[in-house]
Amino acid sequence: MSDGMIEGFSAQRLPGDGLEIDVLVGGSGPPLLLLHGFPQTRLCWRSVAVEMSSDFTVVVPDLRGYGRSDKPPGDPDHVMYSKRAMAKDQVAVMSALGFERFAVAGHDRGGRVGYRLALDSPGVVTRLAVLDILPTADFWASIDELSSVVYWHWSFLAQPFDLPERLIGADPGFFFGWMFERSGYEFAPDSLADYLACACDPRSIHAMCEDYRSGWTTDRSIDRDEQAKITVPTLALWGERGLVALYDPLAKWRAWADQLQGNPLPCGHFVPEEASAAVVAAFRSFFGAGA
């Protein structure tokens, strides 16, 4: 297992919403928060974070339940791992660092936390980037023959406690290793080691299941029932070889964001690693315009 560090960054334990979040901070300039996805840790942003730290103060946390952050047990309504709760963590983290307004970029689950943060705290987020996702309610409504097979883990992880926990826990190294191998992307060995070591923690397995249970219940209901719009400039990026590309992402996000731009990148799902140079270029242009 790696130490979970990014060169030139310092580690801190900071207060989230009733728990502690493990965070890396580096660089100087306007604040930029980078949020990772499933089943990864903050190291997915390593290349992007180092490049962006020359112009921004880059904050790279592990989401609650993931990596080195606290992993509380779930609750019957799956509110503990809702994206609303995870977003509150990030507001608290940034406030502890002295940032009351900041830009946000999130990949995969982190993108869901990011857009919920922008919706719930419109005076806090200055600019938002979402990478390789559709809004949660829209994704569930769009599931078809292809996505039900490619994104099978959405339904599997959302099954009631403790079916997926028991099945994954029987051989977590195989389960998560198979998922990474199936992506077709060759991850940096130390990053992959970190992802696997952290994900195989039984507390993380439970947290990730709760994350997806919340996606099916609380997150989906909030998305579907609340009609708020993202009012800050929003950038949507996605992998041209990924599933999201088949669902006209800009059309989906236009219903959510008033100031939208975006485009595909030459990669699959794991955009921050597969196309880090293209992500840095897009981020410099987009976030630099609001610095």
Tokens of 63: 């989401």
269 annotated active-site: yes
Nearest-angstrom CA–CA distance, 88 and 249: 26
Nearest-angstrom CA–CA distance, 56 and 262: 21
- Name the β-bridge partners of 257: 230
Nearest-angstrom CA–CA distance, 268 and 134: 15
Nearest to 232 by CA among 210, 253, 205: 253
* 225: number of Cβ within 10 Å: 8
Nearest-angstrom CA–CA distance, 49 and 43: 9
Phi, psi dihedrals of residue 215, rounded to the nearest 5°: -60, -35
Q: Identify the active-site residue in 36, 78, 107, 269.
A: 269
Chain centroid to Cα 79, Å, comes to 17
Nearest-angstrom CA–CA distance, 122 and 154: 28
Q: Identify the active-site residue in 62, 108, 194, 219.
A: 108
107 annotated active-site: no
Give me the active site residues, please: 108, 269
